[in-house]
Every structure is written in C-alpha cells, then in structure tokens.
C-alpha cells in the first residue's frame, strides 16, 4: 500500500510501482487534491523493496489537503502512467517567433498546442550556464518566479521543465514592449506617466522586499508593458533571496548605468539598492538619460561615486525631492532605509495615486500600446523577431550524448514545476 501522511512525509512500503521508473517522468502526480512535482532525488527513487521515508520538504510540491490518502498499487500504477503521458514537454508548444535573447538562451513566443494559449517560453542552455557557473542564479530565478504568481506587476510562471540539455520557463506573454523601447521612441515621458510607472514598479519592489527578496537589476529593459499599458517586471536572475530588512550582501552585480555607489565600492549593501535603481529609472523617464550617464564606463562610475545630482526645473518640486531621496549616495540616508516601500508610498510625489486602485489595476494607464493581438510583434526588436526558430528547441531525439551533456542533465534537480492539474494552462 502507498500512504500519504499529512504535510511531512510519505511512506513507500514493500515494492511499489515507481521502483524502476525514471523519476524525471513523474512530473505531476495528483491524488485527491494533492499535487506533487518530483525529479531525481524525489518520488521516483528506487527503494529496492525496503520501507523508506521521504521528507516532502525536499521535493517541489503543492499540497492541498491535511488528511491521509490511501491508494492501492493498481491506482498507483495507473497514476504513474498518467505521469508519463501528461508530463509537459517542449513539443507541447508551437514556437512562433524569437522575441528576445540573453547570455544563456532565447525567449520565444509559443502557443500551447491543446489550449492555444500564448506564452513566453524562456529556453536556456545548460552547458553555458554550467560553464559560467550560474546554476545558483537560475535556481534563484525559478524560486522567485514561484512567489510572483499573485502580484499584478510581476511576470507569472506557469511551468518550468527541463530536457537533457535545456531549461524551460513558461511565462506570461507580454507584448506591449519594453519600457526601454518606448523611451527610445519618445525620449522622455510627461510626469503623470512617469509617476504611474514608478508607482507600479515601487509596489512590485515593495512586494519582493516583503518576501526578503532584493531585485538588484532594475532597468528599462527588464520593465515590460502589457497590452493594457500596465507594468510587468521580469528577469529575476540577479535576485537575492533571504535578505532580512536589516540584512546586507556584497555580491557585485547589476547593470553599469544603474549601479548604486555602495555596490561600485564593493561595500555591503541592503535592499535600498532597489530604490537607487528606481530613482535612476525615474530620472531617465523624466530627463531622457540615467542620472550619471557617460559613454565612458570609467567616467560614469566616477560620476556615480562623486558627481552631484543635477535636477533641471522642468520637473515638479515633489519630483525633484523624490529623486534626491532615492539617489542619495549614502544608503543610510536614502529614502526607504527605515520603512522601505511605505516611505515612497506616502511621499508627496505619489499623492495623486490611489494605491488600492493601483493594485487592483483600476487606474487607467496613461498610455496603451497599439497591439492587435498576441501575434502582433511590432513592439519587439526586429533583430530578434527576424531570426529563424531552430527545431533543436523542441526536438531532443537526435541529441549527441557527450560527457558535458551527461553532466548538464543532472545539474538542476528540483527545477521542474507545474501547478495543480485543474489550474494548468488557465
């Protein structure tokens, strides 16, 4: 018999149907409200007929009951084969266009073959990640994405899965364009529009901070607009998890134009680095360039460290005051150092914002991107959308297994994620 005990452990007793099953196939197991996702070192491990306890906290799982479920071997066998047939795979999607590229792979517009829903699928090459020793950042990104599902201004994760050589994130598809794209076209935004975007960004950062997550890479390229004109924050690869309100970290990371002085000086820094970055982005929206920008990186770093902030009078007094608070070089005096997001929320600059309406997406965006439908790619860079879509993204049958491929295959345990069956692909 197979028993599921409350939240803490389950017991395989005697021989069981998963004994010789490749655990990577046991992607989704649903039992009367219990949804488990497991990979190698998860529910498919061989126990060789011995009584073995498994701690569920070592698995990636969603648990929706508190009671014991008892199922027979026959039902367990049946569920195992359901796992085999229902596992999400690359070939479940039609890959239509490349819409972005990064250090480790590509982002594609994809359509699920059964539901015809559109998603952004981020496909990453394991070999490149391992070569650059970036496994922790990828797993951190997955972890943060798992926590974003209910926030209106953070991109949502629907599925994550892997093949021998690739990792896949199935994300919300957002086609209103990057904030960077719109800034390039319009150069500056009027203050009400910049305030609206800054408010939605601040609420997203405040939410991450409440989960002890520091974003660390806020820039216009990571800020998307959806088809209605709302902000969607994406790309969580540089996030730092587990940072308490008074905690600090020292990793040097970010994007040159938006680095805070304490990061440049390789000093300990805290969550106020995100408020510095928000100040830099807000400044760029209002003035057209980041506050200390120079084409010469060394000169720009020197400006960030030593140059005084210049605020021209075409911005309101409240706007200039907010920028001075956010772009304070001494992090111990920076706006947000005491009460984090609340200090921004109650700042005079944001007094026109009804925050409850903002979170409910009831405020009409000041700009709505011109989009006719999900396949309208006019706000994506043609440099990407004109690239051919490689069949290797979804065809793994002809993969040549080398030692590096074997190493990559098992390097990301616990990566796969799927929602409960009744929520899948909604």
**Any idea which residues carry the catalytic annotation?**
217
Pairing of strands 157-162, 52-55: unpaired
Question: Which stretches does DSSP call E strand in 230-362?
Answer: 231-233, 240-241
Helix (H/G/I), strand (E/B), else coil: 317 = helix
Q: Report the candidate in 130, 155, 160 with the shortest Cα–Cα distance to residue 28.
A: 160
Would you put residue 425 in left (φ > 0), alpha (ψ -120 to 50) or beta? left
Q: How many CA atoms lie within 13 A of 392 on its CB side?
A: 13
Q: What does residue 301 show for φ and ψ, rounded to 5 degrees?
A: -60, -40
Positive or negative, the Cα torsion across 210, 216, 218, 221?
A: negative
Q: Report the candidate in 174, 230, 199 with the shortest Cα–Cα distance to residue 346.
A: 199
DSSP per residue, 19-63: TTS-GGG---EEETTEEEE--TTTTT---TTS-EEEEGGGSEEEE
Q: Report the candidate in 46, 45, 23, 43 with the shortest Cα–Cα distance to residue 35.
A: 43
Per the CB < 8 A criterion, the answer to whether 317 and 361 are in contact is no
| Residue 147 annotated in ligand binding | no
Per the CB < 8 A criterion, the answer to whether 350 and 344 are in contact is yes
Q: Report the candidate in 157, 300, 176, 313 with the shortest Cα–Cα distance to residue 235.
A: 157
Q: Report the candidate in 45, 138, 167, 164 with the shortest Cα–Cα distance to residue 407.
A: 164
Spatial CB neighbours of 50, under 8 Å, sequence gap ≥ 6: none
Q: In what helix (H) or strand (E) does residue 171 lie, and over which residues does it extend?
A: strand 166-171
The tokens for 385 are 């959308």
Helix (H/G/I), strand (E/B), else coil: 277 = helix
**What is the per-residue burial (b if ≥16 Cβ within 10 Å, else e) of 329-347?**
bebeebbbbeebbebbbeb
Helix axis angle, 191-210 relative to 272-287, nearest 10°? Answer: 170
Q: How far apart, in whole angstroms, are the C-alpha atoms of residue 261 and residue 303?
A: 10
Annotated binding site for ATP: 131
Annotated binding site: 131
């Amino acid at each position: 018999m197979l028993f599921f005990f409350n939240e803490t452990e389950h017991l395989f007793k005697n021989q069981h149907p998963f004994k010789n099953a490749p655990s990577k196939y046991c992607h989704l197991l649903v039992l009367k409200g219990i949804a488990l996702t497991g990979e190698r070192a998860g529910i498919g491990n061989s126990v060789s007929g011995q009584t073995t306890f498994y701690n569920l906290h070592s698995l990636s799982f969603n648990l929706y009951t508190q009671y014991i479920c008892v199922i027979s071997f026959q039902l367990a066998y049946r569920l195992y084969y359901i796992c085999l047939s229902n596992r999400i795979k690359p070939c479940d999607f039609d890959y239509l266009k490349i819409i972005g590229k990064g250090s480790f792979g590509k982002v594609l517009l994809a359509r699920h073959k059964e539901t015809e829903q559109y998603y952004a699928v981020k496909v990453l090459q394991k070999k490149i990640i391992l070569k650059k020793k970036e496994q922790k950042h990828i797993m951190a990104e997955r972890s943060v994405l798992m926590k974003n599902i209910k926030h209106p201004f953070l991109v949502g994760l629907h599925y994550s899965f892997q093949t021998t050589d690739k990792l896949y994130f199935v994300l919300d598809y957002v086609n209103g364009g990057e904030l960077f794209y719109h800034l390039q076209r319009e150069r500056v935004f009027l203050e009400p529009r910049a305030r609206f975007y800054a408010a939605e960004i601040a609420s997203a950062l405040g939410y991450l901070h409440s989960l002890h997550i520091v974003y660390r890479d806020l820039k216009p390229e990571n800020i998307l607009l959806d088809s209605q004109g709302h902000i969607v924050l994406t790309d969580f690869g540089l996030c730092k998890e587990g940072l308490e309100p008074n905690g600090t970290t020292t990793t040097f990371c970010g994007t040159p134009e938006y680095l805070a002085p304490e990061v440049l000086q390789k000093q300990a820094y805290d969550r106020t680095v995100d408020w510095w970055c928000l100040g830099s982005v807000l400044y760029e929206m209002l003035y057209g360039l980041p506050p200390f920008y120079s084409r010469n990186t060394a000169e720009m770093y020197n400006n960030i460290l030593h140059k005084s902030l210049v605020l021209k009078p075409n911005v309101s007094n409240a706007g200039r005051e907010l920028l001075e608070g956010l772009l304070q070089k001494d992090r111990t005096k920076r706006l947000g150092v005491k009460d984090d997001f609340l200090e921004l929320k109650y700042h005079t600059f944001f007094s026109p914002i009804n925050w409850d309406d903002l979170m409910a997406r009831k405020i009409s965006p000041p700009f709505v991107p011109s989009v006719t439908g999900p396949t309208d790619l006019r706000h994506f860079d043609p440099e990407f959308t004109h690239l051919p879509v490689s069949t290797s993204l979804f065809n793994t049958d002809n993969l040549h297994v080398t030692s590096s491929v074997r190493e990559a295959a098992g390097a990301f345990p616990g990566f796969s994620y799927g929602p409960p069956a009744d929520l899948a692909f909604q």
